[in-house]
Structure 1
Amino acid sequence: MALKATIYKADLNIANMDSHQYGDYQFTMALHPSETIERLMVRVLAYAKYADEALEFTKDLFETDEPALWEKDLTGQLVKWIEVGCPDEDKVKKAAARCKQVAVITYGSSVNEWYKRSSKLKTLKNVEVWQLSEATTNAIQALCERTMQLQLNVMDGEWTLIGDQAQATIEWTQLQ
């Protein structure tokens, strides 16, 4: 019998004083049986970084040709493509040809080696690559619950994600 996905719900309130973005977002995510809580919470941070009502979680681990998140315009054309982890560079290159904006949110111990090997990425002008620190990914896992109430505060470049039981300082490093 195949394992089923576990459903997580989140209410995310964003108060970004740096970019004057304020909003409340509600979303439902499926945790794939092979996915970790760390990756699930990195997807939440990716959503928070590019928050928009049109941004959607996809079936990325169920459908390998989809990213973790995407945004489409009113005609159904892809506008944003957001990958999580260390994706295949050919997949990112293909996405860069189809979308105005592509982002890769990386984490884990293999990021530096992956980025060093991904020479094609460095030539793509519409691709951003961000790295989350290990301290960040460890801290955000403590915020995970099946139903989450999260508050993200951004001020003077400092990101703080607050949950019911804990909070985490988010450390971003832009690689590209």
Structure 2
Amino acid sequence: MASGTTMHSFTVQLADVDRGVYQQLELRLARHPSETVAFMVTRLLAYCLEYREGIVFSDGGVSSADEPAVLVRDLTGRLVHWVEVGAPDAERVHRGSKRAGSAAIYTHHDPARVLAQLTGKRIHQAEEVPVHSFDRAFIDAAASLIERRNVLALSITEQQVFLELNGSVLESPVIEHRLA
């Protein structure tokens, strides 16, 4: 763990009605000194919205050129899904999509700017890579509520996120954008 890294724990009650996923999760996230709280919140939401067997936060996802923030491996250990957070460059998305066979992006930035920097660039199966965004006020509000130990209930229904975080209730649409 990098010097200056802050550990955060999350007890998550996940109810993703859209995908039929219901789980109780105990997660520990190491927040790298260069990582904003908004990025960490988006990384946590990406993990929950992509939750499936074999999902993990990567060891060096925030500062690694070789791994995304979140990834999914099958039972044999083969990488099957690459999940970027923030505003990744096109080469990184291309490499991840090609390596894993599928990819997704979750951003807390202006989605129009993220799309503009990726559109027209060489990205493996670009038409299959969704870019998900949230209302910026939602991300900022959630970031302001983060503590070292957190309890949250996250419900997703009809592409709407309902988040109860440390006693406060927030909501946002999950807007899906396409590169191609």
TM-score (norm 1): 0.89
**Structure 2 residue aligned with 1:61:** 62
Q: In the alignment, is the contact (CA less than 8 A) between 1:100 and 1:126 conserved in 2? A: no
Please state how far the C-alpha of 1:140 moved relative to its aligned partner: 1.4
Cα distance in 2 for residues equivalent to 1:84 and 1:51: 15
Give 1:51's aligned residue.
Answer: 51
Amino acid in structure 2 at the alignment position of 1:42: T
- 1:35 maps to what in 2? 35
Whole-Å separation in 2 of the counterparts to 1:125 and 1:115: 12
Taking a change above 3 Å as real, the CA distance of residues 117 and 123 of structure 1, as seen in their structure-2 partners, is farther
Cα distance in 2, alignment partners of residues 64 and 122 from structure 1? 17
Per the alignment, do residues 117 and 61 of structure 1 end up closer, same or farther by CA in structure 2, a change over 3 Å counting?
A: closer
CA distance in 2, matches of 1:117, 1:14: 32
Q: TM-score, normalised by structure 2?
A: 0.88
Q: Mind listing any 5+ residue stretches in structure 2 that lack a counterpart?
A: none
Letter in 1 for 2:155: N
Task: Indicate how the Cα distance of structure 1 residues 154 and 123 shifts in structure 2: closer, same or farther if over 3 A, else same.
Answer: closer
For the structure 1 residues 53 and 75, does the alpha-carbon distance in structure 2 shift closer, same or farther, using more than 3 Å as the test?
closer
Query: How many angstroms apart in 2 are the aligned matches of 1:157 and 1:99?
Result: 25
| Matches of 2:132 and 2:28, distance apart in 1 | 24
Q: Is the 8 A contact 2:71 2:83 kept in 1?
A: yes
> 1:122 Cα shift?
9.0
Look up the SS of the partner of 2:145 in the other structure. Answer: coil
Q: Distance in 2 between matches of 1:114 and 1:166?
A: 29
Contact 1:130 / 1:172 at 8 angstroms: preserved in 2?
Answer: yes
Task: State the 1:20 CA deviation.
Answer: 2.1
Q: Is the 8 A contact 1:143 1:167 kept in 2?
A: no
Give the unaligned 5+ runs of structure 1: none
Distance 1:123 1:99, change over 3 A: closer
Tell whether the 8 Å contact from 2:164 to 2:170 is kept in structure 1 after alignment: yes
CA separation in 2, counterparts of 1:16 and 1:10?
Answer: 17
Find the partner of 2:133 among 107, 131, 134. 131
- Over 4 Å off, 4+ runs: none
What is the aligned-residue RMSD (CA, Å)?
1.9
Aligned to 1:161: 163
Following superposition, the deviation at residue 125 of structure 1 comes to: 3.5
